Amino acid sequence: MWPELGNFALILALCLAGLQAIIPLVGAQLGHDRLMHAGRSLAMGQLVFLALAYAALTLAFLGNDFSVAYVAQNSNETLPVVYKFTAVWGGHEGSLLLWVFLLACWTVAVAVFSKSLPKEVLARVLAVLGMVGVGFMAFTILTSNPFDRLIPAPPDGSDLNPLLQDPGMIIHPPLLYMGYVGMAVVFAFAIAALIGGRLDAAWARWSRPWTTVAWAFLTLGIGLGSWWAYYELGWGGWWFWDPVENASFLPWLTATALLHSLAVSEKRGGFKVWTLMLAILTFALTILGAFLVRSGVITSVHAFATDPDRGTFILGMLAVTLVGSLSLYAWRAPKVGLGGGFGWFSRESLLLGNNVLLVVACAAVFIGTIYPMALDALNLGKISVGPPYFDAVFMPLMLPLLFLVGVAPSLPWKQGDPMQAVYRLRWPFAIAVVLGAAWPLTVGAWNPLTALALMLVAWILITTGVDIVRRLGRRQGLGARLRGLRPSFLGMHMAHAGLALVAMAIAMVNTYEDERDVRLEAGETATVGGYDFTLLDVDRIRGPNYDATQAEVRVTRDGKMVDTLYPQLRHYDSQPEMPMQQAALNRGLTRDIYVSMGQHVGGGAWTMRLYYKPYMFWMWIGGLLMAFGGFLAAADRRYRLARDRSAVSEQQVRADQPRDFQEAQG
């Protein structure tokens, strides 16, 4: 009964979304208050019904209702209860349900926290979100309904993919979807601005916190995915340039560009048209990601079970989004107008440089991802583009970007003085060069590219520190000084420092990681990166739904005990022919030690992979810093100080506008 109720709730939510896509929009055009206000109630209703549908699917999992096809495919009797909750989004159909549920959450959040939006703007934003909701819910119901019944019901389900039975996987998809769905909100703001023909500093100030929060979620999602791949796939890698990883990375790159372009729009009223374009592009890339992952055009370890109908449907959504918003853009963008001018050496010009580099990087990754498919589609034969391509094009774009990160934040808007900047930054530059050149020597042999990367890392960290100290000023008392720092300012520097830490970890681990494949018998020892690994024993153990062979490996350094690690080779009951490696790690500030179990090679001997991974810890810390920098910046008081305008119409706001712009510049 529950699955039918869930299905019914999902269909009702679709109907409400359909109304939400039309009624507020009509209201905004006619200036009809009650129609505009309907948007909020419709969004609320949508959330209630989607929550109901989501709960129904969860109940089907908890109750082992294998007459629901999706449950039968992704769960079984012995699956631990916590994974029954997470299996709800472990497959294609359920992950879409989670997606639309999160979209409804964001929509309600926009409706609730939008006191500073004029009613027309809010009505339009909610209408666009309604359209997005219609698209995704129709997709779910028509091509991928999680409530489809399986008659007759099998006695037991197959299983949740063992790769996904892991704590990292519990939160990775929701975070990623939070990011994707947040980009839909940003897109809705952009479309609302185009419909209204109004884009000014106030608009930028409304959309900036939403963009920043969505970006932070996307950052967390990608970081967590990488973290999961690092220990779960058992290959010691953390990024593979896999099409599915790229699918999440593409919108991240344009969203990062958008954050910076929005800063110019808010503070200087510039880059307006470009900002809109980036918002549209970012959202389109999230749909493109869904297309790549769920249509089967690309083979990948991550790919969901695929179906050409789904591909066609998503492609249709992508086409409607792009053609629709570009037409609107062509028609309305000239109305939006250009911003103030700026000199060649100013914060604007460097942010422009940032935007160009990020968009070019995005284009390069995009080409590498779809090129093989494009050649195939045009019958020109097939090629595969591997990490060599991505490494070759991506790094040269990122190094100048890192350099700009050190310069731009302390530069004045409009017109900077190059000589003064050189004078001010000469010491940080000199220190960064020396530090960067010496740093690699603490880990291993000197390498010019690593030294260059570390110089840039030191450069960002030092200039960030200098800028914060400068902003602290000479006020009396530490408390007063700290209060002088605005969250948006601190958040920006936190995110930049996080980026520097990630770059540091990448440079270090790519240059100095050490790995060995060894054959060990009980009592034998192998050495990697100065650590001695001794295989003590191999046991067979029984997990909740798998049998495992578990090795006990003692790690020592110079005779001193470091840790005892227990890597496993798991045979899940549902697919005993496909063993899964469960690596064991000892994480540290300056290095990770990583042991992964290979095969039984006769007698008491096993192959083992031993890794020494310097500075990996900082990759995760850097990612967290970036995301939390984003959350901190979005929490800035200035976004919340705006007056309650929910009863105010656009015309009145427009009359207020000159003063508004002054505030923004102040």
Partner 1 sequence: MTPKILLPFAGVLAVLGLFYLGLQVDSRELPSPLIDRPAPAFELQSLTEPDRTLTEQDFIGEVALVNVFASWCSSCWAEHSNLVELERRGITIHGLNYRDERPAALRYLRRGGNPYTHIAFDPRGDAGMEWGVYATPETFLLDANGRIRHKHVGPLDAQVIREEFLPRIEQLTAEAAS
CB nearer partner 1, residue 36 or residue 287:
287
What is the sign, positive or negative, of the torsion defined by CA atoms of 411, 412, 417, 423?
A: negative
322 interacts with partner 1 by CB under 8 A:
yes
Torsions phi, psi of 657, nearest 5?
-60, -40
Nearer to partner 1, 586 or 607 (CB): 607
State which residue, 145 or 325, has the beta carbon closest to partner 1: 325
Burial letters 27-61, b for 16+ CB under 10 A, else e: bbeeeeeebbbbbbebbebbbebbebbbbbbbbbb
Q: Segment near partner 1 (CB under 8 A), from 22-30, 42-50, 297-305, 414-422?
A: 297-305
Closer to partner 1 at the Cβ: 99 or 313? 313
CB of 222 to partner 1, least distance (A): 16
Look at residues 142, 157, 154, 153 and name the one whose alpha carbon lies nearest to residue 7: 142
**Nearest CB to partner 1, comparing residues 114 and 286:** 286
Give 335 or 470: the residue with its C-beta nearer to partner 1: 335
Among residues 3, 223, 311, 339, which is the contact residue for partner 1, using CB under 8 A? 311
Considering the complex, what minimum distance in angstroms separates the CB of residue 121 from partner 1? 24
Q: Which of 29, 300, 415, 549 contacts partner 1 by CB under 8 A?
A: 300
User: Could you give the 3-state DSSP secondary structure of residue 79?
Assistant: coil
Q: Which stretch binds partner 1 (CB under 8 A): 100-108, 184-192, 315-323, 631-639?
A: 315-323
Strand order in the sheet with 514-521: 514-521, 605-614, 591-600, 584-587
What 3-state class would DSSP assign to 89?
helix
Find the Cα–Cα–Cα–Cα dihedral 346, 348, 349, 354, rounded to 10°: 130
Tell whether residue 431 is a contact of partner 1 (CB under 8 A): no
Q: Which stretch binds partner 1 (CB under 8 A): 19-27, 198-206, 288-296, 631-639?
A: 288-296
Cα 18 to the center of its chain, rounded Å: 28
Counting beta carbons within 10 angstroms of the beta carbon of residue 68, is it exposed (0 to 12), middle (13 to 18) or buried (19 or more)?
Answer: buried
In the chain, the amino acid numbered 166 is D
Q: What is the spatial distance between Cα 568 and Cα 164, in angstroms, rounded to a whole number?
A: 16
* CB-based contact 506:515 (threshold 8 Å): no
Q: Is 382 in the site for partner 1 (CB under 8 A)?
A: yes
Applying CB under 8 A, the span of 170-178, 185-193, 341-349, 577-585 interacting with partner 1 comes to 577-585
Q: Is 578 in the site for partner 1 (CB under 8 A)?
A: yes
Among residues 292 and 633, whose Cβ is nearest to partner 1?
292
Cα–Cα distance measured from residue 592 to residue 225, given in angstroms and rounded to the nearest whole number = 18
Nearest Cα neighbor of 274 from 177, 164, 163, 193 is 193
Q: Is 602 in the site for partner 1 (CB under 8 A)?
A: no
Q: Is 556 in the site for partner 1 (CB under 8 A)?
A: no
Residue from 377, 438, 449, 480 touching partner 1 (CB under 8 A): that is 377
DSSP SS3 for 518? strand
Pick 66 or 291: Cβ nearer partner 1: 291
CA distance 16 to 115: 23
Q: Does 374 bind partner 1 (CB under 8 A)?
A: yes
What binding mask, one character per residue, do residues 459-478 give for partner 1 by CB under 8 A, x or -?
A: --------------------
Using the minimum distance from each CB to partner 1, give the nearer residue, 91 or 174: 91
The distance of Cα 155 from the centroid of its chain, to the nearest Å, equals: 39
Output 384 or 442, the one with its CB closest to partner 1.
384
What is the SS3 assignment for 210? helix
Of the CA atoms within 13 Å of residue 222, those in its CB half-sphere come to 27
Q: 74 near 160, Cβ under 8 Å?
A: yes
Asked if 579 interacts with partner 1 (CB under 8 A), we say yes
- Residue 542 φ/ψ, nearest 5 degrees: -120, 120
Which class for 388: exposed (0-12), middle (13-18), buried (19 or more C-beta within 10 A)?
exposed
| Nearest CB to partner 1, comparing residues 389 and 489 | 389
**505 binding partner 1? (CB under 8 A):** no
Q: Which is nearer to partner 1, 55 or 326 (CB)?
A: 326
CB of 287 to partner 1, least distance (A): 11
Q: Which of 517, 521, 537, 663: binder of partner 1 (CB under 8 A)?
A: 517
* 331 contacts partner 1 (rule: CB under 8 A): yes
Interaction between residue 319 and partner 1 (CB under 8 A): yes
For residues 316 and 332, what is the distance between their CA atoms, to the nearest angstrom? 24
Could you write out the DSSP letters of every residue in 368-434?
HHHHHHHHHHTTS------HHHHHHHHHHHHHHHHHHHHHGGGSPSS---HHHHHHHHHHHHHHHHH
Q: Does 142 bind partner 1 (CB under 8 A)?
A: no
Site size for partner 1 (CB under 8 A): 48
The reply on whether position 301 binds partner 1 by CB under 8 A is yes
Residue type at position 20: Q
Other beta carbons within 10 Å of 64: 17
Distance CA 506, CA 449 (A): 12
Binding mask 204-233 for partner 1 (x = CB under 8 A): -----------------------------x
How many beta carbons lie within 10 A of that of residue 644, not counting itself?
Answer: 9
Helix, strand, coil shares, percent, the chain, to 5: 65, 10, 25
Quick check: 295 binds partner 1 (CB under 8 A)? yes
Sole window of 1-9, 173-181, 299-307, 542-550 interacting with partner 1 (rule: CB under 8 A):
299-307
197 belongs to the binding site for partner 1 (CB under 8 A): no
Residue 599 engages partner 1 in binding (rule: CB under 8 A) = yes
CB of 90 to partner 1, least distance (A): 17
**Least distance to partner 1 from the beta carbon of 301, Å?**
5
CA-based diameter of the chain, in Å?
85
Q: Is 388 in the site for partner 1 (CB under 8 A)?
A: yes
The residue (of 360 and 578) whose beta carbon lies closer to partner 1 is 578
* Positive or negative: CA dihedral 12, 14, 16, 22: negative
Q: Which is nearer to partner 1, 14 or 298 (CB)?
A: 298
Site string for partner 1, 52-91 (x = CB under 8 A): ----------------------------------------
180 near partner 1, judged by CB under 8 A: no
Binding mask 234-253 for partner 1 (x = CB under 8 A): -x----x-x-----------
Nearest distance from C-beta of residue 62 to partner 1, angstroms: 28
Distances in Å between the Cα of 127 and the Cα atoms of 31, 141, 154 are 15, 21, 43
Q: Does 607 bind partner 1 (CB under 8 A)?
A: yes
**Residue 143 CB, nearest approach to partner 1 (Å):** 13
Residues found near partner 1 in the complex (CB under 8 A): 233, 235, 240, 242, 291, 295-297, 299-301, 308, 311-312, 315, 318-319, 322-323, 326, 329-331, 333-334, 370, 372-374, 376-378, 381-384, 386-388, 517, 575, 577-579, 598-599, 607, 609
